[in-house]
Chain A
Amino acid sequence: MPHFSLLCRAALLFCLTVAAISCEKETLNSTTGSQLRPVVEGYLHPGRVATIKVARQLLFEADSNTNTAITDALIWLTAGTDTLWLAHTSAGIYKSTDSIAAGTSYTMHLLYNGELYQAETVVPNQPQSFTASAEQVEVPVFGGGTGGPPTFPDPIELNWENNDGAYYLVVVENTETDPVALFSGDRPAPNFRTEPEQIASYELGFQSFGYYGQHRVILFRINAEYASLYDDNGNSSQNLTTPFTNITNGGLGIFTGIHSDTLWVEVE
């Protein structure tokens, strides 16, 4: 009889262990959790209100709903002891009422479907001493009857201070309403950009431009996390790379601070 009770006790021990395994809260990766991960697109510009777009990914498996906007998330930013609440405006875009300050570190908190996603960024200070060597660039005339080769103008040299090895990105936008293309043929895009690099100068030759007219030259001071988005994501038949993100807890997308300065250049 004592043996029987011993056996019973041992059996009970096993049952308890099985129950313990079965009942433990599930914290592991699951399909549902994986598919519901939000995609964040948040750029913090100093002096402007915080604007963050939240969407879900478009699933490969039987996803007929192409409206990916997430409208029921709860989002707030903290900077030290300050809190900025963001409210949904439209189509998955959330905005704050207060403006962003330069040189400040912000943490984003996004509560969606019971999960908290977070990301941190520092809003950089404005680029210093952004100058251009000229305000115009003249496109040489080819085959104008002078007989000799055309004279190529000097490129416009953009300069700024970069003492701390920060990343910079130059975006050039044509602001004409009906721009005239430099060369016949396919019409290039009115805007172009450089690759994010740790540089302090950039040369804009006339060949860089596609159109005549006024151009806005924006120098963005960006963070490393944003620069990572430009990495070749390398998806091929041999490799599949996971896109870069700085959102925690399995979130996707980018949350980053940027600061810019602007110059004007005319192509004649």
Chain B
Amino acid sequence: MHTLRYLLLPFLLLGSYTVNAQNIDSVRLDKLYVGTVSKILDDLQKDTGIRFKFDRAKCDELVYSDRPFNEPVSRFLNFMCREHKLKYLRLDDGSVQIMGKYENPEVELLRTKQRYRGAVKHRNITVSGTIQDKNTGESLPFVTVRVLGVPLGVTANVDGQYTILNVPTDTNSLIFNYLGYEPALVHLSPEAPFTQLDITLVANGTTLEEVTVTAEREELMRASEQVSAFKMTPSKLSTLPSLGEKDIFRSFQLMPGISAANEHTSGLYVRGGTPDQALTLFDGFTVYNVDHLFGFFSAFNANSIKDVQLYKGVFDTKYGGRLSSAVEITGKDGNNRQFNVGGDVSLLSANIWVEKPFGEKVTTIFTARRSWRSPLYNTIFQRFSGENESTNNLPFGNQNASVASYFYDVNAKTTWKPNKKDVYSISFYNGADNLDNSIKPQIPEGFGGGGGGFGIDISDITRWGNTGASAKWSRRWNKKLYSNNLISYSNYFSKRERGVSGNVPDGNGGETEIRRGTFEDNDLKDYSAKTDWEWQVVPSQKLEFGGFITKNDIAYSYSQNDTSSLLDRHTDGTTAGGYLQDKMTYWGERIQFTPGIRVTWFSPTQKTYYEPRANLTFKVTPKIKLKAATGLYYQFAKRVIREDVLSGSRDFWVLADDDRLPVSSSRQWVGGISWENKNWLFDAEAYHKTLDGLSEYSLRFTPAMGMGAFTYDEFFYQGTGKARGIDFLLQKKYGKLNGWLGYTIGETRQNFPVYGENDFWAANDVTHEFKAVGMYKWRQWDFSATWIFATGRPYTAPEGAYQITLLDGETTDFLNISAKNAYRLPNYHRLDVAATYRFASDKGSIGGSLFNLYNRQNVWYKNFEIVNNTVVSTNVNYLGLTPNLTLTLKLR
């Protein structure tokens, strides 16, 4: 009966607006109307006396002309609205409201109306609906919805659907909050369509900003309500200083607890964790490497991203398979109103996006970008590839270096919403880097057997990339139950080849093939399926549960020269399991307690792993919140560092086997406090993390004699780790000047018995890290500056030499390497500034930024070369002062 009433309600409501509708049907027009829609409506009001309500800023942009011949106003309005995707409503007071075709009339009216003052008709009602962007129709995920004056609130799901159970009365008010959007206040009334209360939110900085109540700017980043969680608005990223591309991962590195002193990777070093310990999900599929151009940029095109959530640790049981942190990226669905196209051009790359709806139920978006070899690109490429260092001195012939280097990525997504309950989407991503610095010599005619009879190629190739795809079906079964089912595929490959290959004469008239150098090949495949369910049992309890299965197929080979294959692993394995989490609130939502467990079975070890986790927040007062969380985490596919003291360590992915490569685990504890008022947020979180089953690969320890024959598989070493510290954040959230200060004091230590009995500082250990981020808005300008300071990272170095006299009287020289990570690089610091001018039409912007303004020579790593049994060390530096320009344009 209730359901029937809700279903009929919109029709009943619509009916109520048709009362007293004689005016626009009876009054007739007979003259030419031309100009903007605003002007025409003003003229109509003057000619007929009918009052029109409309969004003047929007209607000023629409132009129309018509010459009615004794036709009713309603017919004239029908034609005008059809042409401009508008609609009109006849209001009770005889006036006419003009609005966008897709805007929900009831909600728009509720929003503008004063709070309902009449009697309450319904109690304990359920309110539900969807939340969309007003301009593009994109569903907005994870919007928080609260009932004003009542401790009741929910977070919308990834499809922008929300349900609040037990709203006390039909006269309460709801407030919708989403990062980067103006908050929306909606007053309920007995006539409101409670089960289809579809809301549209207005993005900050759009033309409609002027008519909204608050002209203040929403922040770029929000420390979320959950422990150790952050949200970020992709649309706001362009105001931050950037080097070529606005970058979601680079921006996350400005948060406390996430290391920013790593220009060589976009990956996240979170609270002593490494990038491989951070789970990165893009539209549900796992991305195993997030780097473009040696890590200077992340693999994700910000134009294709709608929402990003970051968990610095103690993440929900829904996420697993990683030790440290989790990032969930939701791609855009595309504009469901109209075709749109836009793009950016910077000194590094060109970027284009296209959005097109098909009918009212299908949306598509396509984004692509590709680097171009600008001076900026060349600067970065040469610095990071060591192009100048490559060996290219062949003893004969001319040499042509055929340098080819670029990166690209494409995203495509199609979403079909056949009804209010179901959402189907297919998302695809492909991106790769190709850095080829090879040399093909031209052998002179007559040399070595007749010119071209043989040749030697010097190869210097680095290629890596990701391909990912997912197909998702989510369904809102009823107001309490929601499910999300997904199948996905992900592939990561990395090839590194530095060497000499070719044919040389063998002296007997024949040829011998040679192949010298180092060759690495890593290929990882991930086939996954998962199902996630949310069941809002009662307003104070939400159960989240699901299942997952992943098959990993990982191959890695590493060889030196043509004969010695040092490592050749090809393993596959399946992880399968389920999780359950119970979000409970007590004491009027002041306490939120979320216990949960994740259970995983891993085929290579034939073992089951249990990961209990719990999360507690306590609102001491509306402004002060205490929080605590703990959890156990396992990782099965992991990245192993291949130690290389001389020229910098590299890494590769492998699957744990519980033999040489144990399943890694971490246990985390987090405790914190936050204080927040309208403008300011202070947040402090202390963390402690223990890590077990860490792996590293090193060739610098040969087994002692008497240990029998060895294989190169033996050079995997196992160790443990500890990380602890405190993150502080002070944020000014709103106002023309906003931003934050972040500071982390921390330590990360490891213990690998092979490197000695003592603990040593992990390679990513940073004692002090300070960040200041400031943004200032002045008219059409956005100014921003970021300053970063971080303690230098530890490194291992060849340290000295010594002699031992052997039994036969000979002396032998030994070159000694320092204790593991005994040295530290100089402190890292850097100031970046940027200015962006937004065109008044809101159809683009132009921005300039200066990276490393005071040209600090920050050291990336030390390069060592052994020359005549001594060691020559050189600093390989990060980028100095680097300017950039970015032009952004869009059709609408």
Contact = CB atoms under 8 A, between A and B. Distances in A.
Contacts of B704: 224-225, 228, 244
A237 B818 CA distance: 18
A101 interface: no
Contact of A167 (B705, B726, B805): B705
A57 B807 contact: no
B147 interface: no
Interface in B807-821: 807-810, 812, 814-821
A237 B646 contact: yes
The majority secondary structure among interface residues of chain B is strand
A252 B802 contact: yes
A97 interface: no
A129 interface: no
Interface in B656-710: 673, 675, 684, 686, 699-702, 704-706
Interface string A195-228: 0100000000000000000000000101011111
Nearest to B698: A242
A28 B816 contact: no
A243 B815 CA distance: 7
Given A14-B684, A14-B686, A6 B705 contact: no
Contact of A241 (B702, B760, B809, B871): B702
B620 A3 contact: yes
A7 B675 contact: yes
Nearest to A244: B704
Nearest to A246: B704
Interface residues of B, number: 62
Interface string B851-891: 00000000000001110001101000000000000000000
A236 to B, nearest CB: 7
A51 to B, nearest CB: 11
B170 interface: no
B518 interface: yes
Contacts of B645: 240
A53 B806 CA distance: 12
Is the interface on chain A under 10, 10 to 19, 20 to 34, or 35 or more residues?
35 or more
A113 interface: no
Interface in A19-74: 21, 27-31, 33-35, 37, 39, 41, 43, 53, 55-60, 63, 68
Nearest to B815: A235
Interface in B730-759: 745-747, 749, 756-759
A56 B747 CA distance: 31
A233 B822 CA distance: 22
B641 interface: no
B719 interface: no
The majority secondary structure among interface residues of chain A is mixed
A10 interface: yes
Given A3-B620, A57-B799, A60-B801, A231 B702 contact: yes
Given A228-B704, A240-B645, A241-B699, A10 B818 contact: no
B724 interface: yes
Nearest to B391: A237
A10 B673 contact: yes
Contacts, number: 168
B32 interface: no
A227 B807 CA distance: 11
Contacts of B759: 27-29
B823 A31 contact: yes
Contact of A17 (B726, B799, B818): B726
A29 B701 contact: no
Interface string A226-268: 1111110111111111111000111011100010000000000
B800 A231 contact: no
Contacts of A41: 804-805
B508 interface: no
B560 interface: yes
Contact of B818 (A31, A239, A243): A31
A31 B822 CA distance: 5
Nearest to A236: B866
Contacts of A238: 518, 560, 646
A240 B798 contact: yes
B816 A27 contact: no
Contact of A171 (B624, B799, B807): B807
A242 B704 CA distance: 12
A187 interface: no
Given A3-B620, A21-B747, A57-B801, A28 B761 contact: yes
B22 interface: no
Nearest to A194: B808
Given A29-B759, A37-B819, A60-B799, 13 more contacts: A6-B624, A28-B760, A29-B760, A34-B823, A35-B818, A57-B816, A171-B808, A234-B702, A235-B866, A242-B817, A243-B814, A250-B819, A253-B804
What are the 9 A-B residue pairs with the smallest beta carbon separation, nearest first?
A: A224-B706, A57-B800, A29-B819, A227-B705, A34-B822, A243-B814, A34-B819, A193-B808, A59-B800
13 contacts: A7-B673, A28-B758, A35-B800, A39-B804, A43-B807, A57-B802, A193-B808, A227-B706, A235-B815, A239-B646, A240-B864, A242-B700, A250-B758
Interface of A: 3, 6-7, 10, 14, 17-18, 21, 27-31, 33-35, 37, 39, 41, 43, 53, 55-60, 63, 68, 167, 169, 171, 173, 191-193, 196, 220, 222, 224-231, 233-244, 248-250, 252-254, 258
